[in-house]
Structure 1
Amino acid sequence: MSVPILGASSWREYRGKPASSGINETTHLAKVADANGKLRDCFVKLFPANGPALLCEALGWILACKSGVSCPEFGAILLVPVNELRRSQALPASLDGMALCPAWCSEVVSGKSVRQVHKMAFFLARKNCLRSRDARKIAAFDKWSDLRDRNFGNVIQSTQGGYVAIDHESLLHDLLWVPTGRGFEERSLLVEANKALSPSDFQRFQIDMASAAAGHAQALKDAQADLEDIIAKLIPAQAAAATQAIVQTLDQRAQSGWLADCLGVIA
C-alpha cells in the first residue's frame, strides 16, 4: 500500500473550503483523479518542503491502515498547481513564485467530525466516541506513533458507523518535530477520556488501549517496505538515516508491554 505521488493534472476541480479547515490556511476540497483516473472527493493541504509535515501525513496513513485503525480509504501526495488554486482562494505569501506545491490529500469521509456536532449535543457525542472500540484503537495508535494532536476535529463520526482518524501531521513528534524547533500542543483522546469518563471507565479505556497495542509490532513489519519507499522518495538524501531512526523508534514503542507500562495498567 505504497503512497502514490500524483502530478498536477490529477488536481481537477476546486470544491471550496471545508467547514472546519484547521490551522492550515491552504486546506481545501478538490476533485482529485487517482492513479487509475478515478475521481475522488478529497481534502487537500499544501505543505511547502520546509518541515516534516508531508512525510508525517504519509507515514501516518500507511501505519494507520496497517494497524487496522479506521482511516480514509484513499491517501496520496499531490502536486497542486498553485496559480490555479490561487484563483479560487487566498494563499499565504510563502507560496508566491511557486508553480507547484506538494500537498497531502485524503478522501473525504462521509460524516462529521465529533467537534462539529451541535454544541448542545457535544457532551454526549464526545462520550459516545470515547466509549467506542475505535477510540481506544486510535488512542493506542497515537501513543505508539507519538502523534500529539488528536483533537475531536480530526476524528470523524462516519455515517457508515464507527469513528475514523484523519490528520497525522504531528506524528513522531519528538523524533521529527522537536529537532526543527517546532511542535504541537499535546491533545489526545487519552486526555479527553480522563476528563470525561468515570474512574472505572477510564481504567477500562486504558486497558483496551494496551490490548490494541498487541498488533503494533506486526503492523510495523507489514508497513516497513512502504515506509522505506515513501521516505526514499520524499527525503532521498537523508533516507537511510531517517528510515533507521523512524523504524527503530516505532519498533521500541511496539514491544510487548511498552504501552501498558506507560499507562500503568495490566492488559
Structure 2
Amino acid sequence: MSDSAADEYSPRVYSPDDDHNFPDEKLNTVLDFIKADEEITTYLEAQNVNAVDRMQYNDHGTKHIEIVRNRALRLYNLLKAGDVDFNGARQQGLVEEDESVIIALAATLHDVGHVVHRDSHAYYSIPLAADILDRVLPEFYDVAETVRMKGEVLHAILCHHTAETPLTTEAGVIRVADALDMESGRSRIPYEYGGRGINTLSSQAIKSVSLQSGDTTPVMVEIAMTNAAGVYQVDNLLKAKLEDSGLEEEIRIVALNTNENHEQLVERIEL
C-alpha cells in the first residue's frame, strides 16, 4: 500500500508475516502462486498497452494491481477488526479463509480486460479472468468449491465498475480499493503527455492516502492534498465508488489540504 511508511498502523504492503484479523494461511499460499504465474504476470504487463501506450491513460498494469490488492487486503483487515460481515463466501457455503482469497484474486484480475480495450474493460475482464480462474482455482479447491469461488471472484471483478452494484462485501472492497490508487505519481504518464484535464490535475494534487482504524467507523481513509484540485478526485471519483458499495457506513473519508504556503480555498472535506 502507499500509506505513510512512518505510520505503523498503515503498512505500505500486505505482509504475510504480520498478524491479521483473519485466517491468512490459504491467502498466502495463493498469493505466492499467482505472483509467480507467467500467464497472470504477462496479462498485468500487457493490459497497460491500451491504457498507457495507446490512450495515455493512468497506469493500469502491474503497479496498479499491486496497489489495489494491497489496499483491498488492508481494507478487509480493518473491516474484519470492526466485525463487518462478509457475505460472499459465507452465502456460498465457503469458509472464512476464502474471503481474503476472493478479494486477492479479484484485485489481481479486475483489469485484465484492458488487453481488449480500455472502454468497457470490466466486461471484457470477465471471460478472460474466468479462463485464468479455471486453471488456478483447482490448485486449491475441489470442483464444487471452484465453481462457487469463481462466481464470487467474477462478481467482484464486474462490480468494480460503477455501473454495477456489488451484492457482497468482498465486491464492495474491490470497488473502493480500486478508487484509492490516486496519488500524484499515479497520474504521471498522462501529465507528461500534456494532459491537463481535471482528472489528471486533481490526481496530481493528492500527496498521500492512508488507511487506519477509525473512531466512529471500522475504517478511516485520510487523504493529504497539496491544493484544492484534489477535491475532484475525492468528491467525484472516490465518492462515486463508495456510493452503493455497501460500505458507506463502514468507511469514513477525510481529505486535508496540507499546503500552508497560501490562502486555502479548501482546508478539509469529509465523506
Looking at secondary structure, tell me which structure has more strand per residue. 1
Common topology (TM > 0.5): no
TM-score in terms of structure 1 length: 0.31
Looking at secondary structure, tell me which structure has more helix per residue. 2
TM-score in terms of structure 2 length: 0.31
